[in-house]
């Protein structure tokens, strides 16, 4: 992944912290790249659902022109440095379709009147 970093963005939960300007120095790291801002936002939603603070970023010129390919079209998903490992684990997980099917096999034999 890229080494893109920013130190001026506060974590959402720390926006009203006791520091002078309400922000705390946070190093953001890229954990995913996508072809455009929309897929990057979907990836960010997955991380947010797991409680990971996340930012989505795309080059302004690419966003203004609606580009989804090349350097200007790339959407970046960033998380604070301390969440990188957790974010990469979440993104690496792929649900096994057989595992999901087996989870519902127990319900196939039940009648509608049976109690679970």
DSSP string for 9-78: PPPGGGTT-SSTTS-----EEEEEEESSHHHHHHHHHHHHHTT---EEEE-HHHHHHT--SHHHH-EEEE
pTM of the model: 0.63
Q: What is the pLDDT of residue 65?
A: 80
Q: 55-66, pLDDT tens digit by residue?
A: 999 888 887 887
Bridge-based pairing of strands 55-58 and 28-34 is unpaired
**Is 79 strand, coil or helix?**
strand
Q: 93-114, pLDDT tens digit by residue?
A: 876 677 767 766 666 555 666 5
Q: 81-96, pLDDT tens digit by residue?
A: 999 999 999 998 876 6
pLDDT exceeds cutoff 70 at 19: no
Which residue, 74, 76, 80, is CA-closest to 29?
80
């Amino acid at each position: 992944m890229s080494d893109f970093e920013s130190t001026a963005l506060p974590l959402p939960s720390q926006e009203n912290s006791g520091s002078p300007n309400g922000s705390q120095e946070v190093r953001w790291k890229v954990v995913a790249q996508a072809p455009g801002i929309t897929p990057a936002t979907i990836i960010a939603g997955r991380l947010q659902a797991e409680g990971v603070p996340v930012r989505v970023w795309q080059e302004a010129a690419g966003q203004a022109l609606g580009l989804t390919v090349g350097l200007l079209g790339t959407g970046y998903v960033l998380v604070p440095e301390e969440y990188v490992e957790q974010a990469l684990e979440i993104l690496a997980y792929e649900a096994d379709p057989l595992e999901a099917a087996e989870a519902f096999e127990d319900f196939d034999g039940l009648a509608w009147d049976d109690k679970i």
